[in-house]
Amino acid sequence: MYHKALFVLTLIFAPCMASAGTSKIEVVCSFSILEDWCHQILKDKGLIHSLVPIKGELHEYQLSAQDVVRLKRSQVVVGFSPDSEAWLHDWAKSSPNHRVLWLGVNEDGTRLPSHGWTDPLLVMSMVTRLCAELNKTDPNLNVSHVQMLKEAQSVDSELKALFSTLPAERRKLVTQHPSLNPFAARYGIKIVGTLLESSSGEAADTSARHFSRLLKSIRADGVRVIVTDEGHNQEMAKRLASDAGIPSPIALNFESLPSAQGSSWKSMMVLQGRMLHEALMLR
Contact positions vs Zn ion (CB under 5 A): 179
**Min dist. Cβ of residue 187 to Zn ion (A):** 18
Nearer to Zn ion, 83 or 221 (CB): 83
The whole-angstrom separation of Cα 30 and Cα 145 is: 20
**Min dist. Cβ of residue 119 to Zn ion (A):** 14
Nearer to Zn ion, 32 or 179 (CB): 179
Confirm if 201 and 254 have CB atoms less than 8 A apart.
no
**Min dist. Cβ of residue 109 to Zn ion (A):** 22
Nearer to Zn ion, 179 or 181 (CB): 179
**Min dist. Cβ of residue 229 to Zn ion (A):** 7
Closest residue by Cα to residue 186 from 118, 105, 281, 270:
118
Contacts of 124 (CB under 8 A, 6+ apart): 149, 152, 153
Nearer to Zn ion, 52 or 246 (CB): 52
Confirm if 130 and 37 have CB atoms less than 8 A apart.
yes
Confirm if 127 and 41 have CB atoms less than 8 A apart.
yes
Q: Which residue is nearest to Zn ion (CB)?
A: 179
Confirm if 41 and 145 have CB atoms less than 8 A apart.
yes
Contacts of 266 (CB under 8 A, 6+ apart): 151, 152, 154, 155
Report phi then psi at 77, rounded to 5. Answer: -115, 125
Nearer to Zn ion, 75 or 263 (CB): 263
**Min dist. Cβ of residue 199 to Zn ion (A):** 7
